[in-house]
Structure 1
Amino acid sequence: MNINSVKNFVLPFAICLLIALALYPDSSLNPEAYSTEGLELNYNISEDLSLVVQEQPIIHNMFTPYLGKSFEGFKEALAFKESRGDYFTVNTLGYLGKYQFGSETLKVIGIYSPNKFLYNPELQEKAFMANAERNKWVLRKDIKRFEGKLIGGVKVTESGILAAAHLAGPGSVKKFLRSYGGNNFADAYGSTVKHYMKKFSGYDTSMVVPDKKAKATL
């Protein structure tokens, strides 16, 4: 196609377009109707970010601070009450770590070095489990006898019993249950068996297996 042919084609087309725009200002031929002014059209993603988006796996069971009534929830709630969850703290009475163990209780579950215990979080977690297993064995008959009953206005649950035993020892829990709340041990800070039994009720502690000889070993 030569230049003259192009001119003969373009010029009439341009004239027709101008006439259409003049006669139909609101028609679909109005270029202003397609203006992108004021719109955010920059959808570019940086190379680094795009790689992150592509490589991240879809995780359906991500960790959440809310642990509910699970066993982990039980441990963390009790630890927060005892020490605010601090593995390396010692209170004014010499109780140690995240779960505030006394040296005599540690000996029962096979730990004879309080200093080693204090600076070893893994050992502290194992100590908590061993102590719970031992307490559950000692209190197994009382759990069966009193679970679900109301004593002193508190509904008795296995987790409440184990929490109270952690505070005061299984012997004090036996006395509370068998006296129907009349014998309510309180520690030096005023925490009672009844308070722990109520505060930590209803958690799932079924994974704690009763074990008379439970020990904490690495």
Structure 2
Amino acid sequence: MAEYQAPMAEKLRKSVGNVTYYIMHGKTFARAKVAHVKNAKTPKQLRHRATFTMLVQLARVLIETTRTGFPEKAKGRSSSNEFVRANKNFVEVDENYEATIDLEKLQVSGGKLPCFFEVTVTYNADGRMLTFQQEAQSNSLLNSDPKDLLYASILETKTNLSGIVSLRARGESGVTSIELPEIWTVENCNVYLFATSENGYLASPSQHVKITTA
């Protein structure tokens, strides 16, 4: 079984918005509040703007991921537009027009490829290594192509930074390891897996996965 060191995407994205994160019942949520809405006259408009504001700010953080994860774009739409479209139904807005989303439901990719991955994620504090153990998948049951390429997107909520890691083809087994940036803590990391076709033209929805500690 092969193992190799995968570089984190060179560009780590940080938000300039007002998204904050909190933990409740063991889950991490993102929250954003609209400070001012120009010409908004109805509660519906305020809720819509709160949802849009939150997702646009998250899209900025995850831009390196969404460029890969949303290759199928309608004419005139960007990957950030598709990210907002994929996640708008997961956002809840309260009476104070604060928008909240459960990060386990967040979709960092979208498409019709199968969203099923035999990948476990383990963190070892010695060396700050995050390891992805991947098992080969057969296309006979999943109607998938073993040449599909798997990716891991990592969102670190304390720094509001993200990175994307290239894993292996769907039909391969092996281990991929990365070293977490010094300013990251594993407790604040959310990992999402997704696949694209070999040519990058198609993608799957994403799957949030738990990190276990070695």
TM-score > 0.5 by shorter chain: no
Instruction: Return the TM-score normalized by structure 2.
Output: 0.28
If you compute each CA radius of gyration, which structure gives the higher value, 1 or 2?
Answer: 1
Select the structure that is richer in helix: 1
TM-score under structure 1 length normalisation: 0.28
